[in-house]
Structure 1
Amino acid sequence: MSQVDLDRVISLLKEFAHQKKGRLRLILVGALALQYYGMRDRATIDLDAEVSGDLEGLFQFLRAHRIPADLGENISGWSVIAMPSGYRDRAVTLYQDAYLEVKALSPLDLIIAKLRRFTEEDIHDALFVVGKYGIRSDEIVRAAEEAIQNSAKDTALFLFRRNVELFVGKVKEK
């Protein structure tokens, strides 16, 4: 598998959207969002995004170009822990034309997305975003609590809350 970079992906997305002549909207949620936010050395082999438009056609197009993709209409449903309300509205526009709009989760929402999985790599990524954008601990806690309020009751929420506490402790150490 070869590595995927943001410029190549946007170029391919433009090609797809203009071929289809249909509106395509994406919110990047993974390493490509991190590349946009300045973590240029963040390697990835796939595209993780919320998609509004021809999801199946895009998936097949990317596959034909050897880019694995994890695409869905609602990233909030990718985990037991929901995303905070309004994450789509807060997403930051990277590129826009008549057929294509590409956004990245806002820095705070990207942190919450990373804390939902809580791997070592996710923690590292989230700490980068905190440092680069000066996200405060109280903002993280508030967004995490909103995510919990938006989630169905589940024991995973207890673990998420504990992971947020651990992460905030790491933020305060810096």
Structure 2
Amino acid sequence: MIDLLRQFVVETGKPLDIILVGAMALPFYHVKLRFTQDLDAEIKQGDIEELYSYLKAKGLESDLSENISGWSIISMPSGYRERSRVVYKDQLLTIRVLSPEDYIIMKLRRGTAQDIEDAIEVAIAQKVKKEDLEVLFEKVLKESIKDTALFNFRRIYQVFTEELGRKVYNQNRPMP
């Protein structure tokens, strides 16, 4: 992926600064990359349409936005951009990933079985503390508009914490 994005910035001569938010970010959290055929990212700097067309021409689907918080009724916690960390940087290309806690919230906003599994894997690999995640979860509830989607988000978060607890317990590790 880095090579493809480097190729894009070299060919266009334009800078690109992105935050990876999907499965392609997993290796940066020390989680094995699972099969995925798309790139999910927030574009901090760069031409979304040009990048989308470029990736499409290379056979890669993408979901790109200037504001990933808008992908759901459930808001991303304020400050997620500032908490993102750079995982690759050269003259034209900057690739970032969300903090582990923000990535977990991102995944739980959608809440599929695969999203919950990704969130669990990141929580374990990054030793995310339950207390830190709880603070962020409560922040999201306060910052999101009141909607029935919040009920589902609470349920998904509960499933996540229960599954995480079982997985950690079964691996005989103390829960973070």
Give the TM-score, by structure 2 length: 0.89
**Residue 85 of structure 2 aligns with which residue?**
92
- Does residue 18 (structure 1) correspond to residue 10 (structure 2)? The answer is yes
Residue 41 of structure 1, CA deviation: 4.1
Task: Return structure 1 stretches of 4+ with deviation > 3 angstroms.
Answer: none
The one-letter code sitting in structure 2 at the alignment partner of 1:15 is: Q
**Residue 73 of structure 1 aligns with which residue?**
66
Residue 21 of structure 1, CA deviation: 2.1
Instruction: Point out the more displaced range, 145-154 or 35-44.
Output: 35-44
Q: Secondary structure at the match of 2:165?
A: helix
Count, aligned residues: 166
Deviations, residues 56-80 of structure 1 (Å, cap 9, x unaligned): 0000111111111111110011011
Root mean square deviation of aligned Cα? 1.3
2:127 aligns with one of 125, 131, 134? 134
The one-letter code sitting in structure 2 at the alignment partner of 1:81 is: I
1:62 aligns with one of 33, 36, 55? 55
Give the TM-score, by structure 1 length: 0.90
Residue 171 of structure 1, CA deviation: 2.5
Q: Secondary structure at the match of 2:88?
A: strand
Residue 148 of structure 1, CA deviation: 1.9
Deviations, residues 65-107 of structure 1 (Å, cap 9, x unaligned): 1111111110011011011111111112111112111111111
Residue 166 of structure 1, CA deviation: 2.5
CA distance in 2, matches of 1:23, 1:55: 12
Percent identity for Structure 1 against Structure 2:
45
Structure 1 unaligned runs (5+)?
1-8
Residue 27 of structure 1, CA deviation: 0.3
Deviations, residues 119-161 of structure 1 (Å, cap 9, x unaligned): 1111111111111111122222211111122211111112212
